[in-house]
Structure 1
Amino acid sequence: MEKIKFMSEEMNEEVDFYVLEQTKVGGVSYILVTDSEEDDAECLILKDTSGESQSESVYEIVEDDVELSAVLKVFEELLEDVEIER
């Protein structure tokens, strides 16, 4: 599992996440991340909101319920052996 660092603008500090899976839906990149390698970890779906001209990716937590449900279904299909509870 790949570990990546994010800079939290709210807390102005680095936060580590583990990438479980990534996908593209409608031309938009999404990643499913978790805060721990343990079995019962919290996970988030992050959306790449950076422009094509930006050198670094900018990710935001998906909060829209319709978008979240749609992308969650895609990740559940990709990760058949992982149970994601909402």
Structure 2
Amino acid sequence: MEDILTFIDDDGEEIKFEVLEETRINNTNYILVAEDGDGDEATVYIMKDVSEPTSEEASYVIVDDDTELESVMKIFDELLGDEMNIER
């Protein structure tokens, strides 16, 4: 998967993320993204789609609830297997 998403932060700066994996849990779409850049190590985030079901564009926010984060991370760990070593 080689999707790149561009987000605009609160300061108006563009931040690019590479989508590493995606999944759907309880009718919510989640993506695992890494900051787009060079090198072997990158910061990864789990984001969830909070857009309305009728919306044509997705709207993502970073998952910050610890319980939700842990349960979704387990799914991504299973999906990625040995492809990636993610440290918490």
RMSD value, Cα = 1.5
TM-score normalized by structure 2? 0.87
Q: Which residues of 2 match residues 43-82 of structure 1 at below 5 A?
A: 43-81=44-82, 82=84
Shift in Å at residue 6 of structure 1?
Answer: 2.6
- Give the match for residue 6 of structure 1: 6
User: 1:3·1:16 contact (CA, 8 Å) conserved in 2?
Assistant: no
Q: Secondary structure at the match of 1:15?
A: strand
User: 1:20·1:32 contact (CA, 8 Å) conserved in 2?
Assistant: yes
Identity of aligned residues (%): 44
Shift in Å at residue 37 of structure 1?
Answer: 5.4
For structure 2, list consecutive stretches of 5 or more residues without a partner in the other structure. Answer: none
Shift in Å at residue 33 of structure 1?
Answer: 0.4
Q: Deviations over 1:50-70 (max 9, x none)?
A: 011212110000000000000
Query: How many angstroms apart in 2 are the aligned matches of 1:43 and 1:53?
Result: 28
- Count of residues paired in the alignment: 86
